[in-house]
Amino acid sequence: MKKIAVVTPYYREPIEVLQQCHESVLTQQVHADVVHLMVADGVPNDAIDAWKVEHIRLPRAHGNNGNTPRAVGALLADAQGCDFIAFLDADNWYHPGHLSSLLRMHESSRVDICSSLRTFHRLDGSNLNVSEAGEDQLQHVDTSCLLLHRNAFPLNNVWFQMPNEISPICDRVFLRAALHQRRSIASTQQRTVAFRTTYEVHYRTAHEVAPEICKSKEEDVRKALSFLMSVEGVQKTVEKLGFWSASW
């Protein structure tokens, strides 16, 4: 039986949000051994010790959008001999059939990376009826939508090599790294990940007023893109990752 690790970095999310995330992993019906690694980025929640997870506690917060705990979780999954690594951010959750659909995609295509699409949700978890054109056209893949086969595990170095200044767009950087390394990628084109959005653009698209938290989130993205376009950003990105892309 194949072994899948689901890696979840977390920081200060409420326990009910973390529980929804974890329970969505527990209820996946997939012909594989699934282990959930929850990695505390410096602020561990003791309640998680009682859950069916591997609870990893990092000694301090790293402030890079979960990249360091994501990298640590992926490293442990590799060391434990997992065949696949999936990611699930702590404020998101899987819909039923997510992992099984990705596994079927791999079995039929034998690609290095399988992915899905998302449904979008307000902070309270209720459905927000929007989508992203770039995602639907497979130009963007959210981290929580990824399933990596062991062949692609070297890509996980990107999580800790990535300059902290561009961590707000870490999923876009990761996808560009995968394309740069010519990794094969396929999408189920099924919306099997629930994404709790903190991006103002999604609320605007739905003709709603965005929560206050969304303003700082989008400002972080603008700063990351601005850094990427600077001389220092180009130099640092090439030095750390070995490439720079004109499209992020």
Please, what sign has the CA dihedral across residues 195, 173, 146, 24?
negative
Residue 158 within any structural domain of the chain: yes
pLDDT confidence tier of residue 138, bands split at 50, 70 and 90: confident
- Cα–Cα distances in angstroms (integers) from residue 14 to residues 20, 48, 91, 131, 195, in the given order: 10, 12, 9, 26, 16
Q: Which two tokens stand for residue 70?
A: 């994501």
Query: How many domains does the chain divide into?
Result: 1
What's the average model confidence in pLDDT over 84-102? 98
In this structure, is residue 50 part of a structural domain? yes
Residue 27 included in any domain:
yes
Spatial separation of the C-alpha atoms in residues 66 and 63, rounded to whole Å: 7
Q: Does 246 fall in a domain? A: no
Rg (C-alpha) for the chain, rounded Å, is 17
pTM of the prediction? 0.97
For residue 112 the two structure tokens come to 């290095």
For residue 41, what is the DSSP state? S
Residue 247 covered by a domain? no
Q: Where do we find the tokens 């997510």? A: 98
CA-to-CA distance for 42 and 56, rounded, in angstroms? 10
Q: Please report whether residue 161 resides in a domain.
A: yes
Q: Write down the pLDDT at residue 216.
A: 86
Residue 168 pLDDT exceeds 90: yes
Retrieve residue 25's tokens: 């992993």
Residue 215: what pLDDT? 86
pLDDT tens track for 171-211: 999 999 999 999 999 999 999 999 999 999 999 999 999 99
Q: Which helix (H) or strand (E) holds 192?
A: strand 185-196
Tell me the residue range of the domain where 38 lies. Answer: 3-241
Q: How far is the CA of 22 from the CAs of 50, 51, 177, in angstroms?
A: 12, 9, 28
Flag whether pLDDT at 99 surpasses 90: yes
Let me know if residue 97 belongs to a domain.
Answer: yes
pLDDT band of residue 247 (cuts 50, 70, 90) is confident
Percent of the chain with pLDDT over 90: 95
Which CATH number do you get for residue 157? 3.90.550.10
